[in-house]
Amino acid sequence: MIRSTHDVDDTPEVGRYSDPPLLVMASLADGPKHGHAMIEDIFRMSGTRLGPGTLYGAIARLERERLIEALPPDERRQPYRLTAKGLGVLRARLATLHHFARAGLRKLEAR
């Protein structure tokens, strides 16, 4: 059974990142993908395994916001890609996370 936020294992949830829209956009950063490919890519990147409902909910939201767009179907698979707007939003959000992570790590080093 696929869980909506984490793969089943013995490790605590600490250290896993779970923001489905951001995870979807990051997965699409290196090119178009269909749903199953995104699920696997997101798991490899973050250790977070999105369930289909969570994934397609994020996809619908990102499409409404015009951050991603559907491409012509490839047989039964529906690929998606980042739009120019989505690329800009992804860069900005990742830069913010990078800045936040650096600040948090500096605070830890000061202890």
Domain presence at residue 59: yes
Kindly report the CATH number assigned to the domain that includes residue 92: 1.10.10.10
Q: Examine residue 55 and state whether it is found in any structural domain, yes or no.
A: yes
Percent of all residues in the chain with a pLDDT value above 90, rounded to a whole number: 80
The gap between the terminal CA atoms of the chain, to the nearest Å, is 41
Q: Is residue 52 part of a domain?
A: yes
Q: Please report whether residue 6 resides in a domain.
A: no
Is 41 a domain residue? yes
DSSP string, 33-98: B-HHHHHHHHHHHHS----HHHHHHHHHHHHHTTSEEEPPPBTTB--EEE-HHHHHHHHHHHHHHH
Q: Does residue 15 fall inside a structural domain? A: no
Q: What is the pTM of this model?
A: 0.83
Answer yes or no: is 96 within a domain. Answer: yes
Residue-number span of the structural domain to which 100 is assigned: 20-109
Question: Is residue 4 a part of any domain in this protein?
Answer: no
Question: What local confidence, expressed as pLDDT, does residue 93 receive?
Answer: 96
Count of structural domains within the chain:
1
pLDDT digits (tens, 9 = 90+) for 25-71: 999 999 999 999 999 999 999 999 999 999 999 999 999 999 999 99
